[in-house]
Structure 1
Amino acid sequence: MRVRRWAADIGLGVVFAVVLAFWASRLADSWGGGYWRFGCAAGAVVCAIALARRLDLARAATAGLAVAGTAVLAAGFAGLPGEPGPGAALGLAVLVGSAVRSLPLRPACAVAAGGFAVAAGSLFTAHSLAAGVPAVTVMNMLAWLTAVVAGLCPRLLDARRRAVAERVRRAERLTLARELHDVVAHHVTGIVVQAQAARLVARRSPEKAGDALAAIEAAGSDAMAAMRRVVGLLRDGDDAGGPATTEPGPLRDLVGRFEAEGREGPEGRQEREGRQVRLRLPDEEETAVWPPEVTSTVYRVVQESLTNITRHAPRARAVTVSVERDRDAVTVEVADDSPAGPARHVPRGGYGLLGMRERVQALGGTLRAGPRPGGGWSVLATLPLSGPLSGPLSGPLSGRDRR
């Protein structure tokens, strides 16, 4: 990198020297005498400052503008050839372009405005305006405009790249947040429920405490496995947060754990009926051709819905989990029969329903969550198998907001 910079500066110095020598010869031929000395001296100083711009760009740009502005005033009062000349104009163009490219917004705008003022100030050195805008002014304006465009284009490209990178980082953070909530919260909820039951079981029926602790140990192992999958997501960037499948095995295991958690209430007593879950799944041959992002989202919607029932509808005794294909879309519905009451109200601020909405929306699907007409609560998601569905994410999201 340093070698390239040195090479670029050496090449730029050669260009500066050639332009200054050419302009000196032209002034000597047209004006004669020593009129070329002042313009070449001012141009050489501005070019030297431009070559030293990497030391402190803001100060270098300020110094270059000051020297060029002083040269304009001196040439105007002394009747010298028009300033800034080609050498000074080229040096100013390098300074203005570098400032617009690299400096913060306000200093960059200030340098650009100063460059425009110096370029327009060349009108002051014009000896006659009868023939229109002097050539020296046109030259300085073109040099200033080229410098601004050359500095602004890469600045805008950098800003766009930063914006894209920020969107990608935000998407990754949201993905990780969803995975942490969907995977870890599901297992931790089960551990909390079983720990509440085990504490009372140990007090009332000590002989059953071993079974309760074994269940907690199994739930903890599942939570550790889930955490490893989330870590895998961080390391590899794949959707390793859970099974990307709607095959009967994983979903039946999920439903089985949900039913087992509901057989024993948090007060330690054995429920007579427990939770009864009706599970309807498509054939394995049919699900085998579904996209993996669809199957993974189906699993997550069912998992989060069951977790919400455990948290916010403990009196629910009948739950229906249905996964069906309707033409070119997959429909997932999780419904319960929980009665209306204070338990239905949950303070806002959770992320479960929000995560489900983001997952479904990312695939172009729709999500509806709300009370059922006959009582209970329903979560209904529709996911397209090919191409995004039209229309925004819809459905009542208030009421018993399970998150």
Structure 2
Amino acid sequence: MNKGEGRPGPPERPMPYARPGWRRWATDLVLAALLASAVAFQAVAIASTWGGGYWWFDAAAGSVVGVIALVRRRGRAVAAAAGTVVAAASALTARALDLPAEPGPAMALAVAVLIASAVRALPARSACAVAAGGLAVIGVSLLTELGSFSGMPVVALNSLAWLGGVACGLGPRLLEARRRRTAERVRRDERLELARELHDVVAHHITGIVVQAQAGQLDAHGRPGHEEVRDSFTAIEAEGSEALAAMRRVVGLLRETDGASLTAPGPERLAGLVGRFGERGGPAAVLRMSEDERTWPPEVAGTVYRVVQESLTNIARHAAQAEAVTVDVTREGEDITVEVTDDSPGQPRRLRQGGYGLVGMRERVEALGGALSAGPRAGGGWSVVAVLPLGGRRRR
């Protein structure tokens, strides 16, 4: 929406979506039920074979690791480390006190959940460290049961649990990595296609405009009023050359592998932008800017430039009666405030629908965590105000 299309309406409300918290609660409830069942089953089995009093250690150790597994999302690496340490310590303690072999079924299930959660979500090194920790628990269990055939089923159970945890964590991780690679390949192909179109079509036409403007300067030489005509052609050539340079920067950006390059000019070019506005026949424009603009982050500097550029374009299109334009760029704490005002008399005109100038400005500003407002001033004219955080609170 461009200036003069009326006051911007309220922002659209996001569509409702299913919150993943319900699934997490359901998963944890099922896991808690399974862990409780495993603890009860193992306690009954130990009491029936070893006699009363031997089941408490397995139940207590299994419950501790089970609780850790249920709160794993608060810190996956810490939870996995704590669970494996408790599991290894329980195996050594059971051996020293001549108790049933550990880790038991409940603890093996809890450790598998911790390993799967960590392998799926943590960085590669941390995930490998957690998997190695689970393997170390199996090694400790195996060493404590050497020479004892009755403890081998426990070692086998823990080995299967470890393999299951690694598989359940690694499978989704690989699928997600594959989806990311596919999405990135599609985005790159789209960027390259757009870059080719811009280079072969748009840049070609802009080059033609520049060449025609240069030829017009030669043709106008010696004719009546040739100074004014030559000045017009010179301005057209300068604008076309700048547009062509900007197009080439955009093409370079699109061809970047990560798309991270910034093409927007920095604040040092604001003075030239405002100065050219008056030279092209627009109202007199004044720029007031703080002295520390060179310390701005590149994304903030580029957004400031684009906001001023679009605001001046809107003034040239929709405020022909304006006599003065003021561009204020100030810093207040950790925020940059950009205000572009004009003194165009009368009410703002309602123009055609479908413009994207104000929409684009708002998207740029809000993408950095800022806010933008635009509308008629109380004393007449129009005002565009954008507030940008220097801290780069970019929305995700």
**Normalized against structure 2, the TM-score is what?**
0.52
Q: Which residue of 1 aligns with 2:58?
A: 39
Kindly report which structure 2 residues correspond to 1:314-325, keeping only aligned pairs within 5 A, or say none: none
Q: Separation in 1 of the partners of 2:36 and 2:87?
A: 17
Q: Which residue of 1 aligns with 2:325?
A: none
How far does the alpha carbon of each residue in 1:188-214 deviate from its partner, in whole angstroms, 9 at most, with x for none? Answer: 111121111112222234588999989
Q: Per the alignment, in what secondary structure is the counterpart of residue 82 of structure 1? A: coil
Residue 95, structure 1, aligned to residue 111, structure 2: no
Question: Given the alignment, which residue of 63, 67, 71 partners 2:90?
Answer: 71
Q: Which residue of 1 aligns with 2:191?
A: 173
Question: Given the alignment, which residue of 154, 157, 162 partners 2:172?
Answer: 154
Q: Per the alignment, in what secondary structure is the counterpart of residue 195 of structure 1? A: helix
Q: Separation in 2 of the partners of 1:98 and 1:206?
A: 81
103-112 vs 185-194, greater mean Cα deviation: 185-194
Q: Separation in 1 of the partners of 2:52 and 2:147?
A: 21
Q: Is the 8 A contact 1:75 1:83 kept in 2?
A: yes
Q: Per the alignment, in what secondary structure is the counterpart of residue 194 of structure 2? A: helix
Q: CA deviation at 1:182?
A: 1.1
In the alignment, structure 1 segments of 5+ residues that lack a partner are: 225-403
Give 1 or 2 for the bigger CA radius of gyration. 1
51-60 vs 154-163, greater mean Cα deviation: 51-60
Kindly report which structure 2 residues correspond to 1:252-401, keeping only aligned pairs within 5 A, or say none: none
Question: Given the alignment, which residue of 18, 42, 51 partners 2:70?
Answer: 51
Q: Separation in 1 of the partners of 2:207 and 2:228?
A: 20
Q: Per the alignment, in what secondary structure is the counterpart of residue 204 of structure 1? A: coil
The one-letter amino acid of 1:91's match is: A
How far does the alpha carbon of each residue in 1:25-76 deviate from its partner, in whole angstroms, 9 at most, with x for none? Answer: 1111111131111111111000000001111111111111111111111112
Q: Which residue of 1 aligns with 2:103?
A: 84
In the alignment, structure 2 segments of 5+ residues that lack a partner are: 1-19, 244-396
Q: Is the 8 A contact 1:198 1:209 kept in 2?
A: no
Q: Separation in 2 of the partners of 1:124 and 1:43?
A: 20
Q: Is the 8 A contact 2:116 2:168 kept in 1?
A: yes
Q: Separation in 1 of the partners of 2:77 and 2:45?
A: 33
Q: Separation in 2 of the partners of 1:8 and 1:129?
A: 37
Q: CA deviation at 1:141?
A: 0.1
Residue 24, structure 1, aligned to residue 43, structure 2: yes
Q: Per the alignment, in what secondary structure is the counterpart of residue 34 of structure 1? A: coil
Q: CA deviation at 1:16?
A: 0.5
How far does the alpha carbon of each residue in 1:253-291 deviate from its partner, in whole angstroms, 9 at most, with x for none? Answer: xxxxxxxxxxxxxxxxxxxxxxxxxxxxxxxxxxxxxxx
How far does the alpha carbon of each residue in 1:324-382 deviate from its partner, in whole angstroms, 9 at most, with x for none? Answer: xxxxxxxxxxxxxxxxxxxxxxxxxxxxxxxxxxxxxxxxxxxxxxxxxxxxxxxxxxx
The one-letter amino acid of 1:79's match is: D
Question: Given the alignment, which residue of 181, 185, 188 partners 2:203?
Answer: 185
Q: Separation in 1 of the partners of 2:207 and 2:164?
A: 63
Identity of aligned residues (%): 54
The one-letter amino acid of 1:150's match is: C
Q: Separation in 2 of the partners of 1:80 and 1:103?
A: 35
Q: Is the 8 A contact 1:100 1:111 kept in 2?
A: yes
Q: Per the alignment, in what secondary structure is the counterpart of residue 84 of structure 1? A: coil
Distance change >3 Å, CA 127–CA 193, structure 1 → 2: closer
The one-letter amino acid of 1:46's match is: V
Q: Separation in 1 of the partners of 2:110 and 2:222?
A: 90
Residue 139, structure 1, aligned to residue 157, structure 2: yes
Q: CA deviation at 1:120?
A: 2.3
Q: CA deviation at 1:134?
A: 0.5
The one-letter amino acid of 1:25's match is: V
Q: Which residue of 2 aligns with 1:196?
A: 214
Instruction: Indicate the structure whose relative CO is greater, using CA pairs within 8 Å and at least 6 residues apart.
Output: 2
Q: Is the 8 A contact 2:220 2:229 kept in 1?
A: no
Q: Separation in 2 of the partners of 1:208 and 1:179?
A: 37
Q: CA deviation at 1:112?
A: 0.5
Q: Separation in 1 of the partners of 2:81 and 2:136?
A: 13
Q: Per the alignment, in what secondary structure is the counterpart of residue 54 of structure 1? A: helix
Distance change >3 Å, CA 168–CA 7, structure 1 → 2: same
The alignment of Structure 1 onto Structure 2 pairs a total of residues equal to 223
Q: CA deviation at 1:122?
A: 1.0
Q: Per the alignment, in what secondary structure is the counterpart of residue 81 of structure 1? A: coil
